[in-house]
Structure 1
Amino acid sequence: MTDTDVVIVGNGPIGATLSVLLAQRGWRVTVLERRPKPYKLPRATSFDGETARLLAATGIGPDLGRITAPANGYQWQTADGQTLLDIAFTTEGPYGWPDANTMHQPALEELIAARAAELPEITVLRGHEVVAIADGEVVQVTAADADDVTRTLSARWVVGCDGANSFVREHLDVPVTDLGFSYEWLLCDVQLNEQREFVPTNVQICDPARPTTLVGSGPGRRRWEFMRLPGENAAELNSDETAWRLMAPYGVTPETATLLRSTTYIFQARWADRWRVGHVLLAGDAAHLMPPFAGQGMCSGIRDVTNLAWKLDLTLRGLASESLVDSYGDERREQAREAILASVQLGRVICVTDPAAAAERDATVLANRRGKPAGRPEPAKPLTGGLLHESPGAGVVVPQGRVQVGGTTGLFDDVVGRGFVLLTTESHGSEFLAELGTHVVRLDDEVDVDGVYRPFLARFGATSMLVRPDYHVYGTAGPGDLDTLVADLRDRLRAAVPTG
């Protein structure tokens, strides 16, 4: 018997989310956080609609609207205001949430912490810095408090969600792929004295004289970021006086806003090459760091722990062996790598300070987009490998619409429930699916209120679809092939079940 089932190192949004996802499944979780009190300044400023859906799985969905403000769009503009890129956001996105949600990160963390406090399975030890990890059949984790008094906990698994300077990653001594793409920016967080409307909400000004970012950061809050120019003195840039001077052209002055913070930071583009060593895993910034231009840093971390939680659950329940956990790193590392590469590509376009190069960029982009309407955000990235059936649609993220089940109408996840889901137009019963806690939904026009699911199945020529707890499609089946699809999942998991 271990002291706890899972130790999580780090109680930021990623570690806290994982703690709730595991505790909701009945597992004892101890979170070790080096900070004695929650960090009160924001880092991330927004999350996309898919991530909102994942966060809602922790039980905080009804309160998300209180701490967020939907973004209405995202533009890249030239120095003289011409539009290089235009993406329109809607409040009714394909995953049941607004396409983009701006937020004050401490408010989000407070919501998750309040939810964690409702779950007796979670113990949070603040002011405890991990100083040693000894892996084995049982993992021993030693942490020191502010008085340098140590305590050691035993657990079946340890997950490092301890950020960019991760002790857990350093302890594992895993290699890291670093793309060497980094720039220093001045970050300015403000609270506006009066309500102002910004259309679009988020703007990237591709001005070679000073690349600049303007984004929403929750109700009544905004963030401005200004790139440090070649040869510019870092100390002079990193001052409140400089922050006010650079924000003044946007009507942001000491008379119209309160400066909550101004500080410089250097973004990085890197990922750990291994996310698991023995019974110790990495997630969030401990596993990957990316430039901010696609807004996917925190979102990627939430996807990490959503993928990991259900796999740890099946392993701890004895329904699969530890080899299932290997698919976590295989699946998420590739997705994170793609997100990092995409962010770097955007950054190479934005972080141009040579006027001639910027003029050439602007001319090329403007010529290519002439006459085109505003675009829409790309759909959530599918998985391309891992625990997937070889069938059309496998790996795609299933959308979310409203359904009517048992006289209740609402978003699918709230009405049907979360976990494995079987969407089908056929009758089907399976002890194996019941053992997994699968929600079986037989679709018809009455159930599919918004007409989302039947067309989604038809897109892949399917009458049935198995969906994983992280909303990725495991696989699809046509008429009469559902038993084969279910048997494939059963065999894949049972092949990983320990014997003896």
Structure 2
Amino acid sequence: MSDRKDVIIIGAGPVGLTLANLLGQFGVSTVVFEGRDELIDYPRAVGIDDEALRTMQTIGLVDKVLPHTVPDQKIRIVNGDRKILAEINPTTREFGWPRRNGFIQPLVDKVLLEGLARYPHVEVRFGSQVSAFASDSDGVTATISTASGEEQVTGSYVVGCDGGRSLTRQHLGLAFEGETRSTRGLVIDVANDPIGTPHAVFGGDPSRGYATLSLPHGIRRWEFTLFEGESEEVAEDDAFVFSLLAPHVPDPAGLNIIRRRVYAHHARVAEKFRVGRFLLAGDAAHVMPVVAGQGWNSGIRDALNLGWKLAAVVQGKASDKLLDSYEGERREHVKAMVALSLNMANLVTDHNRLRTAVRDMAAAVLDKLPKARARLNSQGYKPMPKYDQGVVVPSELPTWKALPDRADAPRAVGTLFPQPTVRNEDGCSVLLDDATGQGWRVIVWNNDPRAFVSEAEAQTLAGLGGTLVHAVPASQLTWAKAAAAPGVRVVGDESGLLKAWFDERPFSAIVVRPDHVVAAECIAQELNDVLKKVFRAADVTLATKTHNSIMNA
């Protein structure tokens, strides 16, 4: 006889643990199986971005993650002569958090694991290797091998978060399309950082590419390009390792080396992210070179996109079709991140002296172009999520005379909604997501949304765990709060950033998904009809049930 869970997650890495925390918040019964006996305890990923920190905020763990980060970590890209070719130093807070941060992955993974103790309906089983799957119309039964024998657990859905060599992906027979680059790297992690400076350096040295990064708690990482003929055994060769480090520190032999490891640069994307009741996330679905620091962050984006959809489906609030939007929304963005990572890897690992000389000259020219320099400095080259399909309702520029004709007005649908600091109903300064709640949100500027949302749609939104939000200038907060309809949450725009965002657009109402993506935008009078379209795009099955319960009450 098997156990029954809503969701089975394979792999207790950062993606599986983040997804489990999200499902825990939604009350979804979940089990995570991990073949190892404990979490991996050595540093792997070293960069966490603002989107991922917002996800940590979403699952209520960001305060425990932040102590293990280096905020606003600057990157300097240099040539073989240590001349700075470019500097990447974004310091804005569009989504509420620093855009680039160094971090210690094992400590953050531990925070994610410990966070699951909040949810009695979520469990993690270490030393549990999945050996077989059997699926039918009712679910998937996984056979688990443990030290004490075999057991079976059945789930409505299985999510493979089991890494680049994913057994889940192999079980599905899915191709892992892409390449493994011939260039490999040697990672060396050192305690008691002998350099101590807080920034990172990427060295595009034609004699041997390298990177060196400051990490929290006195750890420093070096990564060196390995050449053909240099085997993995060089990692254990002290003389070789010390020769690599000699140009970087006064005394390589005196370093406290805590890790040495050779890795390959993979750039691959699974042909599908969903097959029936099976889904893939993180490295099981895509891998990319480490240079851009987006592999870990891309996996966290997967979890945030998938978590609310799985919860809605298993709880009967949306149809199974909603899960099809996961691959449609994530795959193209992942491919863009893989391309970015390959380009950055090529930039700093090229050993051709002619090409690197041309690169250096091009960098010198770009440095004299203020717009190009500013774009690079602000990390404007990073592809941001932009969903044109899935749970989005495309908008058209309005033709009403009350709105000036602005053909260049930016569109927000399919993009992440910003997160400025606002005042909540108690008058405290908090980040927007904390003031509004983390689920579905209908945010209306300068209007009580209940004036434009019908009772039926308001009940559907409430059934999805959503919130109606009235955004006003902070000076109007007390007045708006006193006049707000029941169930409407009021936030005060203390910085003016919310007003500026709406000022740029001919829309005053937006629908924001639980993953902070704008699903729709419109003027206030169109809100109810647009909200219905969003629910249809999300295949919400709750609307009819809710309406019938109201009529029968």
TM-score band by shorter chain is over 0.9
Which 10-residue stretch deviates more, 460-469 or 230-239? 230-239
Q: Counterpart of 2:454?
A: none
Q: Counterpart of 2:246?
A: 248
Mapped to 1, the partners of 2:207 and 2:6 lie a distance apart of: 54
User: Which of 493, 497, 511 in structure 2 is aligned with 1:452?
Assistant: 497
Q: Counterpart of 1:40?
A: 41
Q: Counterpart of 1:350?
A: 348
Q: CA contact under 8 A between 2:246 and 2:252: conserved in structure 1? A: no
Instruction: Map residues 386-465 of structure 1 onto 2, 5 A cutoff.
Output: 386-391=390-395, 392-407=411-426, 408-425=428-445, 426-429=447-450, 430-446=458-474, 447-465=492-510
Which 10-residue stretch deviates more, 225-234 or 415-424? 225-234
Q: Counterpart of 1:340?
A: 338
Q: CA deviation at 1:497?
A: 7.4
Q: Is structure 2 residue 51 aligned with structure 1 residue 50?
A: yes
Change (3 A) 1:445 1:257: farther
Q: CA deviation at 1:14?
A: 0.7
Give the secondary structure class of the aligned counterpart of 2:96: coil
Q: CA contact under 8 A between 1:324 and 1:496: conserved in structure 2? A: no
Q: Counterpart of 2:400?
A: none
Change (3 A) 1:5 1:44: same
Q: Counterpart of 1:365?
A: 363
Instruction: Map residues 41-440 of structure 1 onto 2, 5 A cutoff.
Output: 41-90=42-91, 93-136=93-136, 137-147=138-148, 149-192=149-192, 196-198=196-198, 201-236=199-234, 239-251=237-249, 253=251, 257-370=255-368, 372=370, 373=373, 375-378=377-380, 380-391=384-395, 392-407=411-426, 408-425=428-445, 426-429=447-450, 430-440=458-468
Mapped to 1, the partners of 2:216 and 2:245 lie a distance apart of: 18
Q: Is structure 2 residue 508 aligned with structure 1 residue 467?
A: no
Q: CA deviation at 1:472?
A: 0.9
Mapped to 1, the partners of 2:287 and 2:425 lie a distance apart of: 44
Change (3 A) 1:496 1:36: same
Mapped to 2, the partners of 1:255 and 1:448 lie a distance apart of: 55
Give the secondary structure class of the aligned counterpart of 1:261: strand
- CA-based RMSD of the aligned residues comes to 2.2
Q: CA deviation at 1:110?
A: 1.1
Q: CA deviation at 1:12?
A: 0.8
Q: CA deviation at 1:100?
A: 1.4
Change (3 A) 1:314 1:194: same
Aligned residue pairs: how many? 496
TM-score w.r.t. the length of structure 1 is 0.94
Mapped to 2, the partners of 1:93 and 1:498 lie a distance apart of: 36
For residues 388-416 of structure 1, what are the alpha-carbon distances to aligned partners after superposition, in whole Å with 9 as ceiling and x for unaligned? 11123101111111111211321112222
Q: CA deviation at 1:350?
A: 2.1
Gaps of 5+ in 2: 396-410, 451-457, 475-491, 546-553
Q: CA contact under 8 A between 1:315 and 1:322: conserved in structure 2? A: yes
Give the secondary structure class of the aligned counterpart of 2:473: coil
Percent identity (aligned) = 30
Q: Counterpart of 2:525?
A: 480
Mapped to 1, the partners of 2:337 and 2:172 lie a distance apart of: 24
Which 10-residue stretch deviates more, 383-392 or 201-210? 383-392
Q: CA deviation at 1:30?
A: 0.7
Mapped to 2, the partners of 1:116 and 1:162 lie a distance apart of: 18
Gaps of 5+ in 1: none
For residues 417-437 of structure 1, what are the alpha-carbon distances to aligned partners after superposition, in whole Å with 9 as ceiling and x for unaligned? 101111102222322222222
TM-score w.r.t. the length of structure 2 is 0.85
Q: CA deviation at 1:196?
A: 1.7
Q: CA deviation at 1:242?
A: 2.2
The one-letter code of the counterpart of 2:378 is R
Mapped to 1, the partners of 2:271 and 2:66 lie a distance apart of: 37
